[in-house]
Chain A
Amino acid sequence: MKTAIIDYGMGNVASVQKALDFLKIKNIITSNHKEIIDADFIILPGVGAFKQGMDNLIAYNLIPVLNEQVLVKEKPFMGFCLGMQLLASSGTEFIHCNGLGWIEGTVKKIIEPQKRIPHLGWNDISVTKQGFLSPVDQKNFYFIHSFHFDVSDKENIAATVNYGKDYVAAIQNKNIFATQFHPEKSQNAGLTLLSSIYKYYA
């Protein structure tokens, strides 16, 4: 099973690769269409700003091939952090901007006057839907974000995290699974989650 880690100039591809290498999962960091089409699994990582992320996906001409592989072919897909937020219909970071639109909803700034922003550090998630997160014992993951994904259809929410109020921590809909937290940075909890997902698809 070969995973394409999408390189679109938005950071942390090396960390994702390190986690997959550790789990002995074949992978390639790429923005090449053929390599993405040949892969059995697609991961969209990313840190940084929403608009920059969308601009880069457009500049790397990745949107048509991702739409085709994930929405039409229903290839297993994971998105982490910005890679989850970009699935939204739109984002409001700095300026309004359309997202990939795979999961209906909007990415908005976290507003919690009593809390420090960004939401940074290890936090517990509450699993709201049976799925990939259910078998993971340790539900403590690493978050680092100032924006959150306000998901329209609550059916798509797999887990929430409380920081003043509940925010979306993970999304699952058919072949699409995405997390606001960083599994690749969450030590055993993250590695266990990734390995259970690969076991499911194996």
Chain B
Amino acid sequence: MLKVRIIPILTFNGFALVKTKQFINPRMVGNPVQAARVYNSRAVDELAFIDIFATQQNRKINLKIVQDVIKECFMPVAIGGGITSVEDINDLLKIGADKVIIKSASIKDKNFIKTASEFFGAQCITISVDVQKKNDRFEILNIAGKNIAMHDFISEMQEAGAGEIILNAVNNDGMMSGFDIELIKEAEKITKVPMICVGGGGKPDHYIELFQNTNCEAVGSSSIFHFTQFTPLDIKNSLQKINKPVRL
């Protein structure tokens, strides 16, 4: 049986790991290579490493650091930040990334997603969407400030060849007060590819609530692992108690 995935997400600012709250106020939380080493020793299901300032600061992700992070990992790794071309993707896959995470470029140009998916296969193209409730509907947060309905956007991305969606609940980011169940249920109605739900996990009970109320198969988290004593294994042990298939 396919196991549910618990995925630590490392967000990076170009120098250090940082953690935001509702996408602002980044706080330094450590060194990416050390963190990757710890997660590998804890046999996590997968790891995501994202330079969350690359696009904003108009730079590429530091491949040397990515390489050092990947070197620590004998599990799958997804890498994101500032990806805008087939060459960027190739650079990351060549050094051992299994998936790339694309956000800004997917909003700018959906043809890029189509090209990338045809070239590398849908399985390695993960699209990250930041969702916020606006005008009484779920919309994609974007730098251009366009009004994009989540439904339309996810459908377009799947059509273009996305192999996976990371669903970020912007208002729940870093708050550690539980997941946005309403948003996740809404996104599940249209998502046919695997989806990683992100934003709000603060204690194992939040994950139980998430998995009991949705069809969630993968969850990404950051704050809970930085700021509490809970580990991915603690979450899995809790999920096993409600009969979810986990990899222990």
Contacts and interface: CB of A to CB of B under 8 A. Distances in A.
B74 A185 contact: yes
Given A118-B194, A142-B76, A187-B74, A124 B1 contact: yes
A57 to B, nearest CB: 16
Contacts of B195: 116
Interface stretch (A7-15, A34-42, A62-70): A7-15
Interface residues of B, number: 37
A120 B163 contact: yes
A14 to B, nearest CB: 4
Contact of B123 (A145, A190, A191): A145
B121 A49 contact: yes
Contact of B96 (A15, A116, A144): A15
Contacts of B74: 18-19, 22, 184-187, 190-191
Best-surrounded residue of A123, A182, A186, A187 (most CB of chain B within 10 A): A187
Given A142-B75, A188-B43, A162 B1 contact: yes
Interface in A12-36: 12-15, 18-19, 22
Interface of A is mostly: mixed
B59 interface: no
Interface string A168-202: 00000000000000101111101100000000000
Interface in A110-158: 116-124, 140, 142, 144-146
A97 interface: no
A77 B244 CA distance: 37
A120 B194 contact: yes
A60 interface: no
Given A22-B74, A47-B93, A187-B75, A118 B1 contact: no
A19 B73 CA distance: 10
A14 B247 contact: no
Interface string B49-78: 000000000000000000000110011100
B167 interface: no
A101 interface: no
Interface residues of A, number: 38
A82 B121 CA distance: 10
Contact of B3 (A49, A140, A185): A140
A121 B75 contact: no
Contacts of A117: 192-193
A47 B120 contact: yes
Interface of A: 11-15, 18-19, 22, 47-49, 52, 82, 94, 116-124, 140, 142, 144-146, 162-163, 182, 184-188, 190-191
Given A52-B119, A187-B74, 14 more contacts: A11-B94, A14-B70, A18-B71, A47-B120, A116-B193, A122-B3, A122-B5, A123-B2, A140-B3, A146-B123, A162-B1, A187-B40, A187-B43, A191-B74
Interface of B: 1-5, 40, 43, 45-46, 70-71, 74-76, 93-96, 98-99, 118-124, 163-164, 191-195, 217-218, 247
